[in-house]
Chains A and B, each alone.
Chain A
Amino acid sequence: DGGITQSPKYLFRKEGQNVTLSCEQNLNHDAMYWYRQDPGQGLRLIYYSQIVNDFQKGDIAEGYSVSREKKESFPLTVTSAQKNPTAFYLCASSRRSSENTEAFFGQGTRLTVV
């Protein structure tokens, strides 16, 4: 079945550690996105990528980094520079964004700093 997979579902991080969240899609989508969601809030864009080896900062990129070495994969690293990383992280993909098409989301990763 085609879809978008995030792992792990739950992740605990100690203060000062970097962690990487995985996002893989087999939908052959060009565009991929990372969003952060805090309790009772909407989705805020962290990074997005329209094509392999290219990505742009979203509205809240500070303290995060990404790579897009393969079309299928768009991992997000939460660095120690992110002061308040506890949140629900959502990855999405869509066909090339110049086309009016919907985003498909993974099931999310809930990150907690301990």
Chain B
Amino acid sequence: SQKIEQNSEALNIQEGKTATLTCNYTNYSPAYLQWYRQDPGRGPVFLLLIRENEKEKRKERLKVTFDTTLKQSLFHITASQPADSATYLCALYSSASKIIFGSGTRLSIRP
């Protein structure tokens, strides 16, 4: 069956360290993968998109990698800050023309 999984339900790290979140998928061949941020009680907000022919994408302190062989994307936040605390969701566009989301990783950055 098709699955998109974010392995860590929660991640707690020290301010200033790099946070690394993982997204794995099975039985999909997505042309691109997206990452979103969601704060409590609010809708997700788009952060980054990476295409299948791109190995890495950066935006300020954010970096995303996409390995189609491993069927995995990694999302990094460098020099993390308490304001980065939120739930991060990965998403892909399936061949059935729908956007599917992972279950999310709740990231907490402690001062």
Question: Which residues of chain B in 1-57 are interfacial with respect to chain A, using CB atoms and an 8 Å cutoff?
Answer: 6, 9, 31-32, 34, 36, 41-46, 49, 51
- A75: interface (CB < 8 Å): no
Assembled-state Cα–Cα distance A110/B40 (Å): 12
The closest CB in chain B to the CB of A103 belongs to B99
Known: A42-B103, A50-B97, A100-B32. A105 touches B43 (CB 8 A): yes
Question: Which residues of chain B in 85-102 are interfacial with respect to chain A, using CB atoms and an 8 Å cutoff?
Answer: 89, 91, 93, 96-102
Chain A residues closer than 8 Å to B104, beta-carbon distance: 41-42
The closest CB in chain A to the CB of B93 belongs to A97
- A87: interface (CB < 8 Å): no
CB pairs A–B below 8 angstroms (16 shown):
A41-B103, A41-B104, A42-B6, A42-B89, A43-B44, A43-B101, A56-B96, A97-B93, A100-B49, A102-B46, A103-B46, A103-B99, A104-B46, A105-B43, A107-B43, A108-B43
Judge whether A45 and B100 touch: CB under 8 Å.
yes
Judge whether B93 and A45 touch: CB under 8 Å.
no
Please give the distance in Å from A50's CB to the nearest CB on chain B: 6
Question: Which residues of B are interface residues toward A (Cβ below 8 A)?
Answer: 6, 9, 31-32, 34, 36, 41-46, 49, 51, 89, 91, 93, 96-104, 106
Closest 5 CB pairs of A and B: A105-B43, A42-B103, A102-B46, A43-B101, A100-B32
With beta carbons under 8 angstroms apart, the residue of A42, A98, A104 that contacts B101 is A42
Assembled-state Cα–Cα distance A48/B98 (Å): 7
Number of interface residues of A (CB under 8 A): 28
Question: Which residues of chain A in 14-53 are interfacial with respect to chain B, using CB atoms and an 8 Å cutoff?
Answer: 31, 33, 35, 40-43, 45, 48, 50
The closest CB in chain A to the CB of B96 belongs to A56
Assembled-state Cα–Cα distance A50/B96 (Å): 11
Known: A48-B98, A106-B43, A108-B42. A43 touches B89 (CB 8 A): yes
Please give the distance in Å from A31's CB to the nearest CB on chain B: 8
Chain B residues closer than 8 Å to A45, beta-carbon distance: 98-101
